[in-house]
Structures are given as C-alpha cells and as structure tokens.
Amino acid sequence: MPRRGNMIYYITVAAVFIILETAAAVMLGYNGQLQNTWIGKGLHGFMASVWGGTESVRHYFSLGQENRDLAMENYRLQLELRKHGLEARTGDMPWNDTAGRFRYIPAEILKMSNNRQHNYLIIDKGSEDGIQPMSGIITGEGTVGIVEAVSRHYAYAISFDNPDMAVSARLGRDGAAGTLVWAGTGSRDAILNEIPHHIDVEEGDTVFTSGFSAIFPPDIPLGVTGDKSLVNGSFFRIDVRLFEDFRKLRFVTVALSIDKEEIEALENE
C-alpha cells in the first residue's frame, strides 16, 4: 500500500507541474511582448522547418517535369531564333513548327553510349512523331548525331562520337568549308579537315555547320579552333574543341529537311 500511495503522489505532482508550466507559457504569451515574440519565433521556426522539408521532397519529385519544361522552352527559343528573318509555316503543335528548309521536333535521350569507338543514342520519338532515317539530331551547341533506324515510338542514331559520322562545317559563318569529324579521343575533341592552306585561320575561330547537307541546318555553332597543321602542303588539319558536352546531354532537337526528297530526286536525275 505505501508503494501505491507514493506512485499516486508522484503522478499528481507531475500533473500539477505540467498544468502550471502550460498556464505560465499562456500567460507569458498574452502579457509579455518580448516573451510573445520568443514564442512566436519558436513556433514559426518549427513550422518553417516542417514546410521546408515537405517542399524539398515535393521539389525533388518535380525536377523531372521542370527539366522537361525548361527543355521545351529552350527548344521554342531556338526555333524562334531560326525563324528570324524567315517565312515559316507553323502548325498547332510545337513539333509541327518549321523554320527555313527544316522542321524541328524536340526529343529526350533515353539511352546513350560515350565510352565506345562506335557510340550511339536512342531518343523517345519515332515514326508516329514524324521522325525519319537520316534526320539530324542537334542542340543549340552542336550536332549530336544522325538517325539510322526508326520504330513507332523510338529512334536509334549514331552519335557524333563515331568514326562513321562527318559534318560539313565552315570557319565562321562565311568562311571556307571542310569536314568535321570526331578526333577519336575525348568526347569534345574534333578535327576540321580540307581547309585550303591559303585560308587565314586563327586560334579561337568559331566553327559552324555549313548547311551544305540536307541533314543539318546551317549556322549551328559547333566549337572553336585550336592548333593546325599542314597536310600534303595543300590543306589544313585543324583541332576543334566542341561546345557540346556529350556526357551531360539529355534533351535534343531532331531536324528534318522539308525538301530532302525533292533535292535527292533532282540529284539522281
């Protein structure tokens, strides 16, 4: 019985202590401006911590959609730049937009190799989206690859980091044209060949797509020139540092030539 009486006593004392502490906190909150500020700050800090944690989780799970929205906005801006000074035909959906001799379709890379001699990529657009073989894949900072095979919802392309791919390129927007190929080493190292030896080439010159093919639009910036060497006394071999970092690629644009079939038919005739 004494033990039971002690237990009841301690419980009663603890309950009274809690009630008194609560009452004191309430009185401080109502009567003391300084104390009210302290209590308010404490509550706000706790609420901010909880809100910040939930917002961080929500932001983490929304990053994928935010990246897609940014990529689409980047695509629209690139398209508007290409439309500048051109009469373009525009459809209802963004991937029906055209500018000049090309039609542009935004896409996302689903799989890509970077550590092989023959690198490739797979994008999330296929024949039902209008993708065709021999279409160019580009970004605002370079040429990424060429579509080789197409299924209904996907497309397979060879990457620029591939010895089987070459791009018609020129020094500056109006300079001499040559062939840009992968150097076979780093993913951002390329070589510009077939530039005549009498052409004045300075280190740091910008290299652009020439537009001479029906695969890539003209005037896409590709990279800057580095060292040069003379080959057979006739042509320069120029090192080029590419703008595009292939290891960070995710969102791209597919360029389809509107007049490709007509030009090829004329060539065959």
Between CA 95 and CA 90 the distance in angstroms is 9
Answer yes or no: is pLDDT of 55 > 60: no
Between CA 35 and CA 211 the distance in angstroms is 73
* Radius of gyration (C-alpha) of the chain in whole angstroms: 32
**Hey, what domains does the chain have and what are their CATH numbers?**
100-268 (2.40.10.340)
Answer yes or no: is pLDDT of 248 > 90: no
Which residue, among 124, 90, 84, 80, has the nearest Cα to 251 in the 3D structure?
A: 124
Between CA 211 and CA 217 the distance in angstroms is 5
Give all strands (DSSP E) within the chain, no chain letters: 98-99, 102-112, 120-123, 136-139, 142-150, 155-159, 166-171, 177-182, 189-196, 206-209, 221-231, 235-242, 251-257
- Given this model, what pLDDT does residue 166 score? 94
| For range 230-249, the mean pLDDT | 91
- Given this model, what pLDDT does residue 79 score? 57
61-65, 198-202, 216-220: lowest mean pLDDT where?
A: 61-65
Most confident of 20-29, 31-40, 184-193: 184-193
pLDDT one-digit tens code per residue, 84-119: 544 333 333 333 444 568 889 999 999 998 888 889
- Given this model, what pLDDT does residue 125 score? 94
Amino acid 230 reads L
pTM, 2 dp = 0.65
Mean pLDDT estimate for the chain: 76
Q: Which two structure tokens, joined as six digits, stand for 183?
A: 């150097």
Which residue, among 258, 163, 156, 154, has the nearest Cα to 215 in the 3D structure?
A: 258
What lies within 8 Å, CB to CB, of 83 at 6+ separation is 99, 100
Confidence of residue 36 (pLDDT cuts 50, 70, 90): low
Answer yes or no: is pLDDT of 246 > 60: yes
- Given this model, what pLDDT does residue 87 score? 38
Between CA 197 and CA 229 the distance in angstroms is 9
pLDDT one-digit tens code per residue, 179-217: 999 998 888 999 999 999 888 888 999 999 998 888 999
